Chain A
Amino acid sequence: MTSTSLSSQQIERPASAPSSRLQGLRDGKLPRRLAVAALVLLLAFLSLYPLSMLLYGSLHTTPPGIPGTFDLSGYRQVLTWPTAVLFANTVGISLLKTVISLALAVLFGWIIARTNTPARGALEVLITLPFFVPPILTAMAWGMLGNPQVGVINLAWRWITGSDNALVNVYSYGGVVWHMLQYSTPFLFLFVVEAFRSMDPALEEASRMCGASQWRTFRRVTFALMLPAIVTAFLLSFIRGLESFESPLFFGTPAKIEVITTAIYNSIHHQSIANYQFATALSFSIMALMFLLVLWQWRLLRGKSFQTVTGKGYSPRLIDLGPWRWLTFGLCVAFFLISVVLPIGQLILGSFFQFFGFYQWDMLTLEHYRSVLGNSEVWRAFRNTFLLGLVGASSTMLLGAIVAYISTRTRWAGRQVLDVLAWLPWMMPGMVLAVGFLWGFAFLPSAISIYGTIWALLIAYVALGTPIAVRVMSAAYRQLSFDLEECSRVHGATWWQTLWRIMIALAWPSFAVGWVLTFFGIMRELSASVLLYSVGSEVLSVVLLRMWENGQAETVSVIGLMMMLLVFVFRWVQLRLIKRYISTL
């Protein structure tokens, strides 16, 4: 699939070779270079600096600050048969869950954005809900639903069929994959649905008019044009799958399933003396694997254009499915019932009883709600998290939007460096990168007071969120035709005006999705938070951890449900704004 759009090189109108700095300044090259250099430095501080601390950790027998020697023993430990089995396990689980969830996400994205399926607006919000619930809560809920002994699903199955066997067992490979799907499907859906929305249906109509069937059109036109978004989503999800921790820990441990993250967790948290050398060496090994995937993505997308938003106006007309729309409606509802109603229903029900799973009249209580609403620590953490979320998500998206713009819309020198730097934090498992931040901030010169302040959290959140921000915005920019920018410039708009009135205006639905993902990523982030928080700067995830460790699962659920309510509000506002925006397009 190619396009006849102008290349950005043409838009840039390359200047003649500068003969002097003044000439460069006149051409606008020097400010541009300075801006790129500043961005490179910023991203290097956010990603390379903590990674360099970890690299030191992987090559040194002791962590920073302790005398030791440089050696490769960490990497030697990685190059063993048990670790190869771990790799195979991890890649297999991640690949399976990514393929299934991507298929589901594309299906749901298409249904919601491109068909006349009933109640699409409500379904769009509902399908994404599980993504925003802390995994530990859904793990508990699925443990109650799907344990082979007394799980609700199995009890119902036995009652209906009279069988002695269990229908499902969440403590298995299937259970690990299933729990991961709860998160990756809504995550991918959020990516894909926006890409579907910003596609000009005229291309599909042309295909249909040329005699292609609906399926062929979907495969050859719709899916092909969605490639950047799909490939990006696939990569993000696959990488996240490799780094997934809660699902294998809770559902894999009883079934003796070990993956890379549980091995890292053990070597950091459950060794007689924390083995950072092995943990970091293992993490860098996965990083190498991930880097190969990113190279594959670049190769796949290089030289192709996926521009679907052009200067030509379009109206995103919906495909009339006729009576089939009830089937698509049924599919969405079925997914919603299984992935949302079953586990979240358990959480809602449990939050009104003294203990989860003991639904007796004498245990009915509102105490968990009262204890949350009356807990000043929770409110302080909520304020801190909300503030960090607002500032962090906005800064991250702004940074991501700029980096994505430079790497996808310009031919500026250094743009690829920016792209690579922005990817890096995503490639390092969160719990290891958190240690990199701890070491990095603590060993800064004492005049730079980041360690032990709320700034440490904010910087870590921006670093952790940047890869998503850049990916979301890159996928959005790739769909915008270069002629839009050219028209704007031809009509006398400045570069900034063009950026603001064209690029940002057209890409902001994706910006909004990225913002929500980043905001809730910050709300849920634990690994870095727990290592970097200080007294007074407690965040919600740290308070939730404390409550969980104190056996207050029901209170944690109440907070989880409040977070979901927040998601409802955010998504509702976001979708209303998008709707208004599209109606005025």
Chain B
Amino acid sequence: MLTKLKRTALAIGLTGLLASLAFPASAQDGGWDSVVAAGKKEGKVVVYSMALGAPYYLAVLKSFEAKYGIKVESLDLRASELAERVRTEQAAGRFLGDTEIITTTMIEEQRKTGDYIQAVGTIPNVKNLRAPFKATEVSVPAYVQPMGILINTRIVKPEDEPKSWEDLNDPRWKGKILSDDMRPLGSGNTMFAILQKKLGAAFNEKLAEQKPVFSRDMRNDARRVARGEYPIYVPQIFAFASDLKGLPVKVVIPKEGAPYAMMEFAMLKNAAHPNAARLLINHFLEAESQLLYANGWMLPVVEGVADRANDDAKAFANAKLMGPALLEERPAMMELAKKLYQ
């Protein structure tokens, strides 16, 4: 898969290079030309990311480097570590990062608790965003990570497969659902909060009576289901199941829709390479970049990409979404989950 991605990335890079030769600066907006020139002059962009070296992410960075000749330094951290590093660096006056890719709620939190981010400025490809995704003054959507239900196809007969979130409350699944812990902040609580809002309090109360078993290792949990420890796992991030091909598991997109985490770009305050950062953000919204994400079972944020995804990825790229989780609701949702799952 990695080799394939590398090839795709190289193709994107070469296409970009040829396009920039075929359509010189005069074909583009004058303002953006100056951004491109300034970005190339800056020669480098430092991005803080939660992708932790995901192959599709690396492929996009590679294609960006090939297209613009700008070096990308990506510092991969987990969400909380990323937030604390940004906060500490900004507070200490060490402006090492240029841009970050984090969840919408984290950006809201950063705005609420400090002065760490600045306006992104004009990004031409923002015009290609598909509904309901919108850029704001300080954030630009990058990609979407939806979640569904994972089942073991050897244990769950086709006629018994859950089709909706409500099906999880069927008595046959009592004690047989493995779940990401819903009490602390994370995917489990995101699912809990969105389902509470969309399906009502009764849904979560009944789910709690099903006695789901909590775990804290999403990557290994899907494999535990594949090995037959449990027939069902929730919430399964689609993308995390894309590399389990060959195992007896299947991701179900519930009919009500898929709760999701929105990942967005933000520009860090006093970024040393702001123009290169803008170029990178714009590059992420190129159809070819988004296609890499769509083929990794994520939901692209620009028009015309989802239907170009590989056959196995199309359903996920076109999944109906449910959400998002809101920052102001978080504490109450975590408290409620704690109460239900004492």
Contact = CB atoms under 8 A, between A and B. Distances in A.
B20 interface: no
Nearest to A271: B185
Interface string B314-342: 00000000000001001100100000000
A452 interface: yes
A536 B92 CA distance: 22
Nearest to A266: B184
Contacts of A65: 87-88, 90-92
A377 B61 CA distance: 15
Given A150-B228, A452-B96, A530 B88 contact: no
Contact of B224 (A147, A274, A438, A452): A147
B114 interface: yes
Given A150-B229, A355-B247, A551-B243, A269 B223 contact: no
26 contacts: A63-B84, A63-B88, A65-B87, A147-B229, A249-B216, A253-B216, A266-B184, A268-B80, A270-B80, A270-B184, A271-B185, A272-B330, A355-B247, A357-B223, A357-B226, A357-B227, A377-B53, A438-B85, A442-B89, A452-B96, A546-B52, A546-B76, A548-B219, A550-B53, A551-B240, A551-B243
B80 A269 contact: yes
B219 A442 contact: no
Nearest to B76: A546
A270 B186 contact: yes
Interface in A538-571: 542-543, 545-551, 553
Contacts of A274: 80, 83-84
B111 to A, nearest CB: 13
A530 B80 contact: no
Contact of B91 (A64, A533, A534, A543): A64
A94 B83 CA distance: 32
Pick the most buried of B85, B90, B92, B96: most chain A CB atoms within 10 A of its CB: B92
Pairs of residues from A and B, 7 with the lowest C-beta to C-beta distance, nearest first: A65-B91, A270-B184, A546-B53, A535-B73, A269-B80, A442-B92, A272-B330
A31 interface: no
Contacts of B52: 545-546, 549-550
Interface string B1-25: 0100000000000000000000000
Contact of B219 (A143, A534, A553): A553
A548 B246 CA distance: 19
A23 interface: no
A253 B75 contact: no
A68 to B, nearest CB: 11
B327 A443 contact: no
Interface in B82-111: 83-85, 87-94, 96, 109
A110 interface: no
A253 B215 contact: yes
Interface residues of B, number: 58
Interface string A350-382: 000011111000010000000100000100000
A107 B79 CA distance: 45
A48 interface: no
Contacts of A1: none
Interface in A254-276: 254, 256, 266, 268-274
Contacts of B230: 149
A439 B246 CA distance: 45
Contacts of B224: 143, 147
Contacts of A502: none
A272 B94 contact: no
Given A355-B226, A550-B52, A273 B113 contact: yes
A438 B84 contact: yes
A451 B94 contact: yes
A248 to B, nearest CB: 10
B337 to A, nearest CB: 11
Given A254-B214, A438-B88, A446 B93 contact: yes
A531 B85 contact: yes
A365 to B, nearest CB: 11
B214 A253 contact: yes
A533 B81 CA distance: 12
Contacts of A548: 219
Nearest to B90: A65
A119 to B, nearest CB: 35
Contacts of B94: 442, 446, 451-452
Contacts of B288: none
Contacts of A553: 219-220, 223
A270 to B, nearest CB: 3
Contact of A254 (B87, B113, B215, B228): B215
B213 interface: yes
Nearest to B240: A551
B165 to A, nearest CB: 22
B74 interface: yes
A149 B228 contact: yes
Interface in B145-177: none
A553 B219 CA distance: 8
A149 B81 CA distance: 35
Interface string A413-425: 0000000000000
A553 B213 CA distance: 22
A209 interface: no
A371 B109 CA distance: 38
Contacts of B73: 535-536
A347 to B, nearest CB: 13
B97 to A, nearest CB: 10
Given A354-B246, A548-B219, A63 B109 contact: no
Given A66-B113, A254-B215, A546-B53, A271 B184 contact: yes
Contacts of A150: 227-229
Contacts of A545: 52, 78
B264 interface: no
B330 to A, nearest CB: 4
B15 to A, nearest CB: 25
B87 A149 contact: no
A250 interface: yes
Contacts of B217: 250
Contacts of A439: 88
B91 A272 contact: no
A55 interface: no
Contacts of A517: none
B46 interface: yes
Interface in A51-103: 63-66
A42 interface: no
B91 A149 contact: no
Given A65-B91, A358-B227, A530-B77, 18 more contacts: A63-B88, A150-B228, A249-B216, A253-B214, A253-B216, A354-B246, A355-B226, A355-B244, A355-B247, A439-B88, A442-B92, A446-B94, A452-B94, A531-B81, A535-B74, A546-B53, A549-B52, A551-B240
Nearest to A148: B229
